[in-house]
Structure 1
Amino acid sequence: MNTKLNKSDYVILAVFYLISVTLSIFDYLDQKATLLEYLVDIPMYVITSFLGVLAFMYIIIPKYLIKSKNYILFAVFGLLVITLIGVVERIVGFSTANNDWSKFPDTYNLILYGIFNGSDSVGLVLGIIITKKFYESQTQISKIKEEQKENELKLLRAQIDPHFLFNNLNTLDSLIDSNPKKAKEYINRLSMIYRYLIQTKDAEVMELANEIEFSKNYIFLIQTRFGNDYEFTIDKNISLVDKFIPTGALQTILENVVKHNKSDGVTPIKTSIQINEGWLIISNTKSKVIAKTESFGTGIKNLKTRYQLLSDEKVQILNTDTKFEVFIPIIELST
């Protein structure tokens, strides 16, 4: 669930506080409150309540409930925030009402009042926002899953694309007579690719190390087929242990490089795969030769859709006249 407040959340908060302030004004009229109470108590309630909502939505819930699933710390810090808000409101309210400080509650009663009053100030509006967020997240998940079902067949077809097999068989046929040793290696690499595709067809994410090894086999096929038209480099700047990306993500990007960039026979298409902290960056030079295949951007679009369920980070694209870069967030699964 995304706990960051959006425009509609702020609208709900504004309506809620408008109603609450209106009811508070009528309540203060019945109590014949002083002008100071109107000017201080009511704004103080809105400010402390709103700050409490922000504390829960931006710190307590994402850090202790969603990320670390530490329910004890979630309860402790949640109770502390609620108590602090209630205590502050009690002190301010007592002060503006010109009460006798000798009658101010002792520490025990002040804490109890803080818990009850803070829960009243923050609990209702926070419950409304969380309920809305939960409904939105469930709606988004349902929508993404529907899109994924449509994309699964496309992805499966892409993995066993008959054109891919046909082109590789043609390459293999030419190698058998000219270079039998390389033809044998080509068969071995091709079989490893299909074995990997079969083994991972139901996996949403795979270890980055496995995806890199798969990409090396895929690059071998490309370079064997096209010769010096394509150059690839892989730079590992971090450890690959416990790092994951969506299954087939690298294949999708590498397919796009070959599909939409044709060498002029003189200058190769250079592609670099950089593994940095938090990001896998695939960058390729762009060809001046116009590709015959029309680009619909479905591969990148599908990858972006998959990330909506897997990570808070998004796939980023940098497209210039000479270079195309794809920034893929590296996923670290929490245990």
Structure 2
Amino acid sequence: MKTAVTYRIRIVDLLVALALTLIVNFPHLLYSGEMHGRRPPGASSDYIAVQVFYFFLASWVVVSLNTVRRFTFPRKIALSIVVTMLFYLFMPVVNRSGEWNASVFTGRIYNPFHITRWSLVLIVSVLYGKIFDLLYQKQSITLENERLKNENLQTRYNMLANQISPHFLFNSLNSLSMLVRERNNDKALEYIDRLADTFRYMLRSGQEELIALSSELAFTEAYLYLLMVRYENKLFFDMDIDERYRNWKLPVLSLQPLIENAVKHNCITQTRPFRISLRTQDGKLIVSNPSIPKIDAPEKTGIGLKNLSSRYQLLLARDVRIVHTGEEFRVELPLVEP
């Protein structure tokens, strides 16, 4: 990645140097193109070609010098001035007899026209280097902001996910203590095995954000067993899952808080059994149940649904649809196609 970035910078440097060379040599090139007949001294094609190549080499060096990240801005200016002066002093010139020499050896160093050209090379190169630094800093700030944003989202997600485990453990231990008090050892042992399965899934999924619907349903079935032990012959579940959606994904542990809330806030009795439905439709997993509020229902905090909605926003930037009529409570969870 770093090599690719460096390569792109050098390509841009090359283009800037080429453009700068054409600008400072435009009068020579134009004059050469309009010449007819005998050329005056210093206007031959060879001389112009050498001048253009020399200015291109100098522009390339000075421009590249101003895009070196490890150099400070004052150091870049100082080095650019030194390098430009050296190129100016050793610029090849040709006399009237056609002999080549460097400016410093001809004794005619001062030339206003050449000084103007080299000054333009120096100024444009330094300005380009400054613009390059500003763009680089802007890009670095943007990347750093994105990194911090992602870290913040990950931290918030972890905090939301960690809220599930303690609450779930507390309720599970309550059910287990009920079996122990009833001295139902066989069911208590089976309950412990299923409880271990559910927590094994939760621990294994702790490092995952999205998981396949099939895995979430397998965990849900183990969790439903724990609830059916608690509400024997009073709690039932219907599942209608289209096979094509089983590999689609959703945030891990999305179903458990919905089922837990349904059981927590509704009346479940032997004479009035409670039924929860899970089905897929139009790329969504729909969890619905009849609305039968308890007379002494605990206060609704909305933490579970807010938690789930926040995780969907953080991970998928999508909304969880909640529909609450007088007779039904329904939550629609978007599924993501792998």
State the TM-score bracket (shorter-chain normalisation).
0.5 to 0.7
Q: Given the superposition, is the C-alpha separation of residues 284 and 172 from structure 1 closer, same or farther in structure 2, using an over 3 Å criterion?
A: farther
Alignment partners' CA distance in 2, 1:229 and 1:293? 20
Q: Is the 8 A contact 1:231 1:271 kept in 2?
A: yes
Deviations 1:23-65 (A, max 9, x none): xxxxxxxxxxxxxxxxxxxxxxxxxxxxxxxxxxxxxxxxxxx
How many equivalent residue pairs?
A: 197
Q: Which residue among 219, 222, 239 is the counterpart of 1:217? A: 222
Q: Is the 8 A contact 2:216 2:255 kept in 1?
A: yes
Q: Is the 8 A contact 2:236 2:276 kept in 1?
A: yes
In structure 2, the partner of 1:237 is: 242
- 1:308 counterpart = 2:313: yes
Structure number with larger C-alpha Rg: 2
Q: Given the superposition, is the C-alpha separation of residues 238 and 135 from structure 1 closer, same or farther in structure 2, using an over 3 Å criterion?
A: farther
In structure 2, the partner of 1:208 is: 213
Q: Given the superposition, is the C-alpha separation of residues 142 and 190 from structure 1 closer, same or farther in structure 2, using an over 3 Å criterion?
A: closer
Q: Given the superposition, is the C-alpha separation of residues 329 and 291 from structure 1 closer, same or farther in structure 2, using an over 3 Å criterion?
A: farther
- 1:292 counterpart = 2:292: no
**What secondary structure does 1:221 align onto?**
helix
Q: Which residue among 174, 179, 192 is the counterpart of 2:182? A: 174
Q: Given the superposition, is the C-alpha separation of residues 327 and 136 from structure 1 closer, same or farther in structure 2, using an over 3 Å criterion?
A: farther
Alignment partners' CA distance in 2, 1:198 and 1:308? 23
Q: Given the superposition, is the C-alpha separation of residues 264 and 176 from structure 1 closer, same or farther in structure 2, using an over 3 Å criterion?
A: closer
1:56-205 equivalences in 2 (<5 Å): 144-145=153-154, 147-159=156-168, 161-174=169-182, 176=184, 180=186, 182-205=187-210
Alignment partners' CA distance in 2, 1:241 and 1:264? 33
1:4-43 equivalences in 2 (<5 Å): none
Identity across aligned pairs (percent)?
28
In structure 1, the partner of 2:263 is: 258
Q: Is the 8 A contact 1:236 1:274 kept in 2?
A: yes
**Letter of the 2:276 counterpart:** T
**What secondary structure does 1:189 align onto?**
helix
User: 5+ unaligned residues in a row in structure 2: which ranges?
Assistant: 1-141
In structure 2, the partner of 1:68 is: none
**What secondary structure does 2:272 align onto?**
coil
Q: Is the 8 A contact 1:284 1:323 kept in 2?
A: yes
Q: Is the 8 A contact 2:172 2:195 kept in 1?
A: no
Deviations 1:252-305 (A, max 9, x none): 111111111122441112110002341000000111423432111111111111
Q: Given the superposition, is the C-alpha separation of residues 143 and 187 from structure 1 closer, same or farther in structure 2, using an over 3 Å criterion?
A: closer
**Letter of the 1:266 counterpart:** T
**Letter of the 1:309 counterpart:** L
Alignment partners' CA distance in 2, 1:166 and 1:319? 29
Alpha-carbon offset, residue 315 of structure 1: 0.6
Deviations 1:103-139 (A, max 9, x none): xxxxxxxxxxxxxxxxxxxxxxxxxxxxxx9999889
Q: Is the 8 A contact 2:290 2:328 kept in 1?
A: yes
Q: Is the 8 A contact 1:207 1:242 kept in 2?
A: yes
TM-score normalised by length of structure 2: 0.52
Alignment partners' CA distance in 1, 2:323 and 2:241? 21
In structure 1, the partner of 2:274 is: 269
Q: Given the superposition, is the C-alpha separation of residues 135 and 325 from structure 1 closer, same or farther in structure 2, using an over 3 Å criterion?
A: farther
Q: Is the 8 A contact 1:281 1:325 kept in 2?
A: yes
Q: CA RMSD in A?
A: 2.8
Alignment partners' CA distance in 1, 2:199 and 2:177? 14
Q: Given the superposition, is the C-alpha separation of residues 307 and 325 from structure 1 closer, same or farther in structure 2, using an over 3 Å criterion?
A: same
Q: Given the superposition, is the C-alpha separation of residues 174 and 275 from structure 1 closer, same or farther in structure 2, using an over 3 Å criterion?
A: farther
Alignment partners' CA distance in 2, 1:206 and 1:175? 38
Deviations 1:238-258 (A, max 9, x none): 324431111110111111111
Alignment partners' CA distance in 1, 2:279 and 2:146? 33
Alpha-carbon offset, residue 312 of structure 1: 4.4
Q: Given the superposition, is the C-alpha separation of residues 147 and 199 from structure 1 closer, same or farther in structure 2, using an over 3 Å criterion?
A: closer
- The higher relative CO (CA closer than 8 Å, separation ≥ 6) is in 1
**Letter of the 1:189 counterpart:** R
Q: Is the 8 A contact 2:286 2:332 kept in 1?
A: yes
TM-score normalised by length of structure 1: 0.52
**What secondary structure does 1:256 align onto?**
helix
User: 5+ unaligned residues in a row in structure 1: which ranges?
Assistant: 1-132
In structure 2, the partner of 1:249 is: 254
Higher helix share: 1
Q: Given the superposition, is the C-alpha separation of residues 187 and 138 from structure 1 closer, same or farther in structure 2, using an over 3 Å criterion?
A: closer
